[in-house]
Amino acid sequence: MINIQDMRDTARGLLTKKEVRAVIGYRRSTNGMLAEPVVITDPAQADELIWDPTCFHNLSLYLVEDRKFLTHVRKTADAPIAIVAKGCDARSIVVLMQEHYFERKDVYIIGMSCEGSGVLDERKLAAKGIRATDAAFDGDDFVFATAQGEQRIAAREVMADRCLECREPFPKEHNAVLGENKTGRELNAPFTALHRFEELDAGARWKFWEHQFERCIRCFACRSVCPMCYCEECVVDSISFPVTGQTSAEEKANRVRWIERSATRPENMTYHMTRVLHLAGRCIDCNECERVCPVNIPLRLLNNKMEREAREEFGYEPGASIGGPSLTASFLDTDPGKFIR
Amino acid sequence: MSHSQAEVTQAEASGEFEPRIVAFLCKWCSSAGSDLAGVSRMQYPSNATPITVPCSGSVSPMYILSAFKKGADGVLVSGCHIGDCHYIEGNFLARRKIHLVKELLGFVGIEPDRFRMSWVSAAEGAKYSNVIKDFVEDLKPLGPQNKMKADRS
Ligand code: SF4
Ligand code: SF4
């Protein structure tokens, strides 16, 4: 069991000794049970930090935001920034470093082992009709505080799918780490949800996706929350092409617009396929995109499809090594080519 | 207008379905291969609109998705044989990327026959004409592609 006090002490120590300029972690939100992200700079704030099953956010997004901010104000960091990271979060930080978004010395990873458990899927809890004000890890269970008193539920019943299928619930890349490494405790085989979906035939799959792509409202929350979607200009925004006083009407008219802004099925479909292809080999399945989607588009299926192809066909594991090649910028002589005529 | 092109126009007028293919051909091999098919006076359907690209490795997935969105019934990417790439490794990179695109299209339920990749060298005019012939044959029973096509009416 992880003692929350250890995490607070680690954070406090780092801030007091000025080894880091801030700690990105979780605190209790003002809205009931859920954790919320917090950035602390004062050692006295360390006691605000928490660690419980509602710490499902991937905080590495804030490392990206920090880097963007520093670039914007033209400053360089005088010390690294510390971050509380689960196994999946640590892998996303590895991908960012692999892509040289920042360097290893710029970040201090306070790794948190999921210790054979995982984080909560709010939707699963809501489906059980449980309204809690607090949640805690306890071995294989989650313990919730509700108006009717304490309620104990087997963690796997309300755990996020990605945690059930997680192959490495331990932050291999870390500066400090809390909790035991229980890698190899897979509760569900990897890609269980994907396999189940793929049992449908092509017609049924199309019916499913046709419906989903009709529903997407293209709010781009999935893109905003993804730590890997860090580009300043996104290929799907036709508005982000620089227009200056010198841009002629013809140039504006001839601008390449890969995707129109209207949220119609063909445009949405092109958006989603572009999104997932640009994330192939980079997405580490933190599932933040699916979690924030206001209309519950099952984005994890698309992400997982690419992840499994990369793994099975190319032996590629995202977030495995900082120095390794990236999926689509490398190749093997043995890559499959049977589909080519 | 070539003979087969006249046929296409005729067929279209008669209401028979003629698939439209967008073919991304690499400049060094496949494009030259299609030229050879032309200068050798080989007969093959003119359903494909060729777009010359520097290398099969330069074909972004966006090109492919965009072609489908603009109403292509089929998309072909063709490049040099493995080992023959003008840029040494472009087609190796293409092979990986295109594999992902192909899998993804199938995953969401687009007919696998709508997307194809081939290696055609500058000397393989006959192969190019066969690739196109086969593609057209396979596309005809599928009918128009409406899944990704944007409605611009
Ligand atoms: S999938 Fe969901 S989050 Fe992403 S753009 Fe569509 S509606 Fe928004
Ligand atoms: S695509 Fe979704 S699951 Fe993958 S890294 Fe981005 S937010 Fe996380």
For A197-236, write each residue's pLDDT tens digit: 999 999 999 999 999 999 999 999 999 999 999 998 888 8
For range A20-48, the mean pLDDT: 95
Take residue B20 and report the two structure tokens written for it: 């439209």
Domain membership of residue A280 (yes or no) is yes
Domain membership of residue A132 (yes or no) is no
Both A17 and A81 in one domain: the answer is yes
* 3 state DSSP class of B39: helix
Please give the pLDDT value at position A163. Answer: 96
Both A184 and A218 in one domain: the answer is no
Domain membership of residue A278 (yes or no) is yes
Band (A240; pLDDT cuts 50, 70, 90): low
What pTM did the predictor assign?
A: 0.92
Best of B80, B91, B99 to disrupt the A interface by mutation (most A CBs within 10 Å)? B99
Both A170 and A223 in one domain: the answer is no
Backbone angles phi, psi at A214, to 5 degrees: -70, -35
Both A42 and A12 in one domain: the answer is yes
Q: Which domain holds residue A55?
A: 1-119+164-188
Take residue A117 and report the two structure tokens written for it: 């458990």
Both A36 and A174 in one domain: the answer is yes
Would you say residue A241 has pLDDT above 90?
no
Both A245 and A289 in one domain: the answer is yes
Q: How many residues does chain B have?
A: 153
Both A282 and A181 in one domain: the answer is no
The residue of chain B with its CA nearest to that of A267 is: B150
For B53-90, write each residue's pLDDT tens digit: 999 999 999 999 999 999 999 999 999 999 999 999 99
CA distance B8 to B40: 21
Nearest atom (ligand 2) to Cα of A287: 3
Percent above pLDDT 70 for chain B = 90
Both A99 and A24 in one domain: the answer is yes
Both A53 and A178 in one domain: the answer is yes
Domain membership of residue A27 (yes or no) is yes
Both A207 and A309 in one domain: the answer is yes
For range A61-69, the mean pLDDT: 97
Domain membership of residue A142 (yes or no) is no
Would you say residue A272 has pLDDT above 50?
yes
Both A83 and A232 in one domain: the answer is no
- With vertex at residue A78, the alpha carbon angle to CA A77 and CA A79, rounded to the nearest 5 degrees, is 95
Nearest atom (ligand 2) to Cα of A288: 7
Domain membership of residue A145 (yes or no) is no
The residue of chain A with its CA nearest to that of B70 is: A266
Domain membership of residue A173 (yes or no) is yes
Please give the pLDDT value at position B9. Answer: 61
Take residue B24 and report the two structure tokens written for it: 């991304």
Pairs across A and B, CB distance < 8 A: 104
| Domains in chain A, number | 2
- Tell me the pLDDT of chain B (153 aa) as tens digits: 445 566 666 666 667 899 999 999 999 999 999 999 999 999 999 999 999 999 999 999 999 999 999 999 999 999 999 999 999 999 999 999 999 999 999 999 999 999 999 999 999 999 999 999 999 999 999 999 999 999 875
Both A238 and A199 in one domain: the answer is yes
Band (A73; pLDDT cuts 50, 70, 90): very high
Domain membership of residue A114 (yes or no) is yes
Query: What are chain B's domains?
Result: 21-140 (3.40.50)
Please give the pLDDT value at position B153. Answer: 52
Conformation bin of residue A116: beta by default, left when phi > 0, alpha when psi is -120 to 50? left
Please give the pLDDT value at position A253. Answer: 78
Please give the pLDDT value at position B1. Answer: 41
